């Protein structure tokens, strides 16, 4: 980063990598500098707010959140962030209002339904039936939400539906395993086999197919990776990570023109992703 201190894109990539590597202090500092340099960049503000919430820096989350809510037409995602901050501060009335606004604004948002369920469960008089419905809606939209599966499984067990509850808990454990550092550290062949098993157990989730494709690429099999990415695209065609793997597959297959097109598509999608 020292070689290109003024490059916004380089600094943004550095902040992303710092956050992924667990270097929260560096990531926060860089995202805040990026936010000051580009106060109208809502993607940067969202990343900063998410990171502040993740590490418990609630006061530092307030400024980027206000920029988001004060912009023209705040998105459902912005209201989800507001609900999360209000819930973390113990203001469940505000959290409920923000979460319901998010669901109304984007009923297709799994995060909005998930957040509303969490607020409903933390209320002084928890509405477990409504929370269950919201969790089911969230999982129908994003089957990989491990926390939503754990919450749903717990509610189903409490309601006496032991079979459905245990299935939800087991699926949550599988989803959590796929995103763990332990999974990523395993050899490609082992990850390939495990990802295929998870795809069979959670057939409406695209992530296992992305992991299959990633392993196939590491094993030097770009054509097979393309097939897996096609399966993932049937489930979630707008996944930015899938676009990156499509570029890698084309590059590995020596299809230079197609690789350039996919690289451009990935870069464009990444600039607008949260």
> What tens digit of pLDDT does each residue of 217-240 get?
999 999 999 999 999 999 988 899
More confident site: 155 or 181 = 155
Highest mean pLDDT among 16-30, 40-54, 72-86: 72-86
Four-point Cα dihedral 240, 245, 251, 253, nearest 10: -140
Query: How far apart (Å, rounded) are the C-alpha atoms in residues 149 and 40?
Result: 36
Assign 196 to helix, strand or coil.
helix
Q: Is the Cβ–Cβ distance between 268 and 240 less than 8 Å? A: no
At 207, list the tokens.
């992530």
DSSP 8-state code for residue 206: S
* Domain boundaries of the chain, sorted by first residue: 187-274
DSSP 45-84: HHHHHHHHHHHT-HHHHHHHHHHHHHSSS--HHHHHHHHH
Tokens of 159: 């309601």
- Percent of the chain at pLDDT > 70 equals 84
pLDDT at 20: 55
Specify whether the CB–CB gap between 190 and 198 falls below 8 A: no
Q: Which CATH number fits domain 187-274: 1.25.40.10, 2.30.110.10, 1.10.3720.10, 3.40.50.1100?
A: 1.25.40.10
Q: How confident is the model at residue 267 (pLDDT cuts 50, 70, 90)?
A: confident
What pLDDT is attached to residue 145?
92
Centroid of chain to Cα 54: 13
Residue 124 per-residue DSSP state:
S
- Coil, strand, or helix at residue 220? coil
pLDDT at res. 29: 65
* CA atoms within a 13 Å half-sphere pointing along the CA-CB vector of 16: 13
pLDDT tens for 56-113 read 778 888 888 888 888 778 899 999 999 999 999 999 999 999 999 999 999 999 999 9
Q: What is the pLDDT of residues 239-259, one digit of tens each?
A: 999 999 999 999 999 999 999
Question: Which of these ranges, 42-46, 201-205, 247-251, has the smallest mean pLDDT?
Answer: 42-46
38 vs 42 pLDDT, higher one: 42
Closest CA to 179 of 203, 154, 157, 206: 206
Mean of the per-residue pLDDT values of the chain: 86
Q: How many CB atoms lie within 10 A of CB 199?
A: 23
Closest to 132 in 3D by CA, of 147, 112, 153, 110: 153
Which stretch of 41-50, 98-107, 159-168 has the lowest confidence by average pLDDT? 41-50
pTM of the shown model: 0.74
Contact 250, 238 (CB under 8 A): no
Is pLDDT above 60 for 180? yes
Name the pLDDT band for 51 (thresholds 50, 70, 90): confident
């Amino acid at each position: 980063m020292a070689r290109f201190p003024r490059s916004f894109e380089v600094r943004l990539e550095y902040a992303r990598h710092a956050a992924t590597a667990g270097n929260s202090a560096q990531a926060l500092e860089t995202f805040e500098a990026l936010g000051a340099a580009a106060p109208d960049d809502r993607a940067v503000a969202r990343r900063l707010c998410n990171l502040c919430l993740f590490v418990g820096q609630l006061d530092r989350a307030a400024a980027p959140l206000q920029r988001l809510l004060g912009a023209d037409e705040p998105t459902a995602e912005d209201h989800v962030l507001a609900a999360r901050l209000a819930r973390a501060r113990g203001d469940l009335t505000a959290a409920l209002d923000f979460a319901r606004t998010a669901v109304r604004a984007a009923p297709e948002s799994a995060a909005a339904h998930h957040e509303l369920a969490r607020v409903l469960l933390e209320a002084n008089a928890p509405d477990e039936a409504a929370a269950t419905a919201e969790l089911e809606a969230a999982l129908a939209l994003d089957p990989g939400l491990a926390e939503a599966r754990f919450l749903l499984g717990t509610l189903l067990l409490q309601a006496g539906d032991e079979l459905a509850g245990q299935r939800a808990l087991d699926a949550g454990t599988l989803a959590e395993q796929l995103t763990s550092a332990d999974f990523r550290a395993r050899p490609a062949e082992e990850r390939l086999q495990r990802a295929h098993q998870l795809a069979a157990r959670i057939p409406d989730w695209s992530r296992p197919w992305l992991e299959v494709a990633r392993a196939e690429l590491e094993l030097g099999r770009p054509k097979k990776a393309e097939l897996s990415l096609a399966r993932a695209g049937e489930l979630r065609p707008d996944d930015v990570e899938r676009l990156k793997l499509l570029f890698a597959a084309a590059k590995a297959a020596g299809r230079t023109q197609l690789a350039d097109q996919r690289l451009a598509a990935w870069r464009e999608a990444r600039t607008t992703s949260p």
